[in-house]
Amino acid sequence: MSLNTYKFNPITALSVLLMTLVTHPVYAEADNAKFELGKQKAKVCMTCHGEDGISTQDPYPNLRGQKVGYLISSLKDYQTRERTSGLAILMQQQADTLSDQDIRDISYFYSQLGHESQ
């Protein structure tokens, strides 16, 4: 279909708009619940990495706004002992206590810090 033959259909446009308006709050609630769950699970992390994901001490990295995949990969690398330098032993001990779901939840929490809604 070329652009020249496309006809605007107001019913379709209205339907798309309504679906967007109806589903957006549902996703926002789910994201907020996911954020809060991650926040609860990340309490132990906050001692070194700060409540807002900004480290309170130089040796510890900031986690605020990091990508989910990076955080998940990092925690799994501590679990499998792929990361061994510096203070890795501390993180290995912490990561060993986390389930895969805990890792996803905590990673989501830190990845969302710094976004306007948080």
> Residue 73 pLDDT more than 90?
yes
CA–CA separation, 9 and 14 (whole Å): 9
- CATH number of the structural domain spanning residue 68: 1.10.760.10
pLDDT of 85 = 87
Does the residue 106 lie in any domain? Answer: yes
- Is residue 92 one of the residues assigned to a domain? yes
- On the question of pLDDT at 12 being above 90, the answer is no
Instruction: Compute how many other C-beta atoms are within 10 angstroms of the C-beta atom of residue 113.
Output: 21
pLDDT tens figures, 75-98:
999 999 999 988 999 999 999 999
Secondary structure letter of residue 33 according to DSSP: H
**Confidence band, pLDDT 50/70/90 cuts, at residue 105:** very high
Residue 1 lies in a domain: no
Does this model's pTM top 0.85?
no
Residue 93 lies in a domain: yes
Count how many domains the chain has: 1
Residues 6+ apart with CB under 8 A from 110: 38, 42, 45, 49, 53, 63, 64, 65, 66, 71
Provide the residue range defining the domain that includes 32.
10-112
Interval 25-70: pLDDT, tens: 555 676 899 999 999 999 999 999 999 999 989 999 999 999 999 9
118: in domain: no
Model confidence at 14, pLDDT cuts 50, 70, 90, reads low
Residue 5 lies inside a defined structural domain of this protein: no
Q: 52 near 64, Cβ under 8 Å?
A: yes
How much is the pLDDT for 3? 55
- Indicate left, alpha or beta for 114 from its phi (over 0: left) and psi (-120 to 50: alpha): left
User: CA end-to-end span of the chain, whole Å?
Assistant: 43
